[in-house]
Structure 1
Amino acid sequence: MFVDSHCHLDRLDKSPEALRETLDFARRRGVEHFLCVSVSVNDYPMMVETVAEFDDVSVSCGVHPLHQDEACSYEALLAAASDDKVVAIGETGLDYYYSADTREVQVQSFIDHIRVANETGKPLIIHTRDARQETIELLKAHLAPGTQGVLHCFTEDLAMAEAAIELGFYISLSGIVTFKSAAELQEVAKAIPLERMLIETDSPWLAPVPYRGKPNQPGYVVEVAEFIANLRGISTKALAEATTANFYRLFSLATSTEKVASA
C-alpha cells in the first residue's frame, strides 16, 4: 500500500463529488492515506472542511513561503496548529527562487514554524528552493531535540539531503524525479537511505511521467514509486512498504485506516 505524503486536495479545483472520485481512483491503485498540506492559515478552516468526510486524509497547518502576504503571528500559528486534527506543521521554509524579495519575512515565518513544531511536538513540512545553506542553518539553530520533519518535493543536491538526514529529517520525492531533466535528483533518489524516504505527488502540480503537463492527482504517486523502485533495483512493493512505514513513523498522529479496521 502507498501513501501520498504531500498533496493539496483543496487546490484540485474539483466538486465534492469529483474529489471523492479522485480519491477512490487512488484507493483502487493502492493508496491508503493522504496528507493534505496547508499553504495558508487563513485557508486552513476551509481546507479542513473540504476533507472532513475522509477518514484516510490527514491535514497540516502552516504558511507556504510564497504566501507571505498571508503570514500570521507566532501566536496565531500556534493556536491554529494546536488543533487535534493537525498532524504536521507547514508547509514552511524558504524560497529564494521565486520570491527573494520577501526574504526577511520568510525567515521569520520559518523560525516561527520551527518554534511551533518544537512546542507542539509535531513534525515540520519544509519547502526549500535556492536556500540550501540557510535552510539547514536555521534548522540547526532553532530545532529542539526530537523535533523532526521532511524536506518535501526535494530538488536539491545529495549534500543537502544528507545534512537534513543528519538532523533527523526525511526526504520526500515527487513526480519531478521522473523527468528526463532530473538526472541529479535521480542520483539522490538512488543514494539516500530507504528508511529516510517518503513519496508524494504535490498534486495538483508536477504530475509524473507519463502524465507530465496534465493536472496531477494522488493516484499518480504509484508512478513515482515505480520509477524510484526501478532506479534502486528493488520491487515497487518493497519501496511502497518502506515509504508507508516511514510516513507513519514521522507523522505519528496520522491514523492508518488499516490499523483502525484491525483494532
Structure 2
Amino acid sequence: MNRVIDSHIHLDLYEQKEIEEIMAGLNSAECTDLISVSFHLDSCLRNLQLAETYDQVHPAFGFHPEQELPSDEELQDLFSWMEKYQKQMVAVGEVGLPYYLRTEKGTGFSIDEHIDLLEQFIVKAKQWDKPVILHAVYDDAPIACDLLEKHGVEKAHFHWFKGDSKTVGRMIENGWFISVTPDLIYEKEIQELVKKYPLGQMMVETDGPWRFEGPFTGKMTQPIMIHDTITAITSIKNCGREEAYRTLYDNTAKFYRLNMF
C-alpha cells in the first residue's frame, strides 16, 4: 500500500460539501492523516471541531503571517486558547513572516512586529514541546532561521519553501524539514529544491484549498494529488517508489508524533 499523509492543508477553508468529499475519498486516496493548519483563532476553533469529528484530522494552531497583525487583545485570546487546547494540537502553525504582504504593500512596510510575533510563537512552541510550521520564503527565510537557532528549535517544518541555496544548506544542517506541493510537477524552482534536499527531511502536502496549474488546472485540490508529487520525487531523486513512499510517510508520522493521537 502506498500510504500518504497530507502534511499541510487548510481543511477549515473548504466548503462543507468539499470537506465531506475529501474525507470520504481518503481511503481511495490511501491518505491516512491530514495536518490541518490554522489562520487565526476562528480557524483554530474550526480545525479543532474538524479534528473532533474526523480521526484522520490533526490540527495545528497559530496565526498566518500574510494578514494584518492581531491586536494585543486578539493575540492574548489566541495564546490563552492555545494554552488550553495544547494537548489537542500537533504543532504551532501556520506562523511565519509576511513576504507576499510586504511585496504587495511596497516600501515603508515594516516587518519588525511580525518578527516579534513569530518569536513569541516559537517561544510558545518550545514551552509546549510542539513542532513549528513555518511560512517563511525568500528573504524572510534567513530571519526565521535566526529565530529558530536562537531558541534551539529542532523540529521546524518549512512548508512550500522557496529560498537561496545558502539558506537551504542551513536548513538541512539544522535537521529541519520541508514539504512539497503538487506544483513540483511543473515548477523548476521546486524541482531544484527537491534535488538538493535529503529525502529523509522531506514531507508532502497539498496546501489546499490553494489550486494548482498544469495537469491540476480547474481541479479541487485534494490529497490524492500527492501521489503525482511522489512520482515526481522518485524521478528527481532517482530512488525506488517504495522507498519514497515509506520514507515520506515515516518522516511525517514521526515528526508529528501521529502514533500518539
- For residues 91 and 27 of structure 2, the distance between their equivalents in structure 1, rounded to whole angstroms, comes to 23
- For residues 55 and 247 of structure 1, the distance between their equivalents in structure 2, rounded to whole angstroms, comes to 16
- Residue 147 of structure 2 corresponds to 138
Query: By how many angstroms is 1:51 displaced?
Result: 3.8
- Residue 236 of structure 2 corresponds to 231
User: Secondary structure, in 3 states, of the residue corresponding to 2:33?
Assistant: strand
Query: By how many angstroms is 1:13 displaced?
Result: 1.8
Deviation track 1:107-147 (CA, whole Å, cap 9, x = no partner) reads: 11100110011100000000012313222222222x23x54
- Residue 129 of structure 1 corresponds to 137
- Residue 123 of structure 2 corresponds to 115
User: Which amino acid in structure 2 is aligned with residue 66 of structure 1?
Assistant: E
Aligned counterpart in structure 1 of residue 161 of structure 2, from 131, 137, 154: 154
User: Which amino acid in structure 2 is aligned with residue 50 of structure 1?
Assistant: L
- Whether 1:89 and 2:92 are equivalent positions in the alignment is yes
Query: By how many angstroms is 1:75 displaced?
Result: 7.5
Deviation track 1:190-237 (CA, whole Å, cap 9, x = no partner) reads: 221111001100011143641135331122111111111121122333
Deviation track 1:27-65 (CA, whole Å, cap 9, x = no partner) reads: 212111110111112321122213422111100000011
Query: By how many angstroms is 1:14 displaced?
Result: 3.0
- Residue 260 of structure 1 corresponds to none
User: Secondary structure, in 3 states, of the residue corresponding to 1:237?
Assistant: helix
Query: By how many angstroms is 1:86 displaced?
Result: 0.3
TM-score, with structure 2 as normaliser: 0.86
Give 5+ residue unaligned stretches, structure 2. Answer: 104-108
User: Which amino acid in structure 2 is aligned with residue 224 of structure 1?
Assistant: T
User: Which amino acid in structure 2 is aligned with residue 14 of structure 1?
Assistant: Q
The RMSD of aligned alpha carbons is: 2.2
- Whether 1:106 and 2:111 are equivalent positions in the alignment is no
Q: Answer with 225-234 or 207-216: which moved more.
A: 207-216
Residue 12 of structure 2 contacts residue 43 of structure 2 at CA under 8 Å; is this kept in 1? no
Query: By how many angstroms is 1:77 displaced?
Result: 1.9
Change (3 A) 1:208 1:154: farther
User: Which amino acid in structure 1 is aligned with residue 22 of structure 2?
Assistant: T
Query: By how many angstroms is 1:256 displaced?
Result: 7.8
Query: By how many angstroms is 1:82 displaced?
Result: 5.1
Residue 61 of structure 1 contacts residue 81 of structure 1 at CA under 8 Å; is this kept in 2? no
- Whether 1:165 and 2:172 are equivalent positions in the alignment is yes
Change (3 A) 1:50 1:156: same
* Number of corresponding residues: 250
Q: Answer with 148-157 or 77-86: which moved more.
A: 77-86
User: Secondary structure, in 3 states, of the residue corresponding to 1:234?
Assistant: coil
- For residues 114 and 126 of structure 1, the distance between their equivalents in structure 2, rounded to whole angstroms, comes to 10
Within 5 Å, give how 1:178-257 maps onto structure 2: 178-179=185-186, 182-207=187-212, 209-252=214-257, 254-255=258-259
- For residues 82 and 152 of structure 1, the distance between their equivalents in structure 2, rounded to whole angstroms, comes to 26
User: Secondary structure, in 3 states, of the residue corresponding to 1:19?
Assistant: helix
- For residues 206 and 158 of structure 1, the distance between their equivalents in structure 2, rounded to whole angstroms, comes to 27
User: Secondary structure, in 3 states, of the residue corresponding to 1:216?
Assistant: coil
- For residues 237 and 206 of structure 1, the distance between their equivalents in structure 2, rounded to whole angstroms, comes to 28
Residue 149 of structure 1 contacts residue 250 of structure 1 at CA under 8 Å; is this kept in 2? no
Query: By how many angstroms is 1:255 displaced?
Result: 3.2
